[in-house]
Amino acid sequence: MIRVQIVEREGADLYRTLVNAMREGELRTLHVKERGRKIVHERYPGWIAWSHSPRVITCKVFGQPGSEWQLFAAFLGRLAHKYPGSIAGIDVQFPETKRRVGRRKRVRRAHR
């Protein structure tokens, strides 16, 4: 999971602009689901759960481990291309993931 906070410029209303653009098809590959609470991409697996408060959009990118970056890059790339004047800053967080460490298999050697 990747966490993203997007800080809007004063008076930009970026969240509402993005929801409307996705519903009307202006952002062709990104679509909103579940009454605007989830973003999905046509090609990349996973989804983005997002919410907003005054001037801050908070996103969590969910997907298959190792492929979340594709959805993340597509979303951020679209924002940077279409709405750079509405964004004051973007904060990206990569929460620490616990890696499973398995036991090493013991190799048996044939007796001679």
Supply the pLDDT for residue 74: 94
pLDDT tens column, 1-34: 899 999 999 999 999 999 999 999 998 899 999 8
CB atoms within 10 A of CB 91: 11
CB atoms within 10 A of CB 101: 6
61, 72 Cβ separation under 8 angstroms: yes
Supply the pLDDT for residue 98: 66
- One-letter amino acid at 74 equals A
Supply the pLDDT for residue 8: 95
Domains of the chain, first to last? 2-93 (3.30.70)
Percent of the chain at pLDDT > 90 equals 71
Supply the pLDDT for residue 28: 87
56-60, 65-69, 75-79, 103-107: least confidently modelled range: 103-107
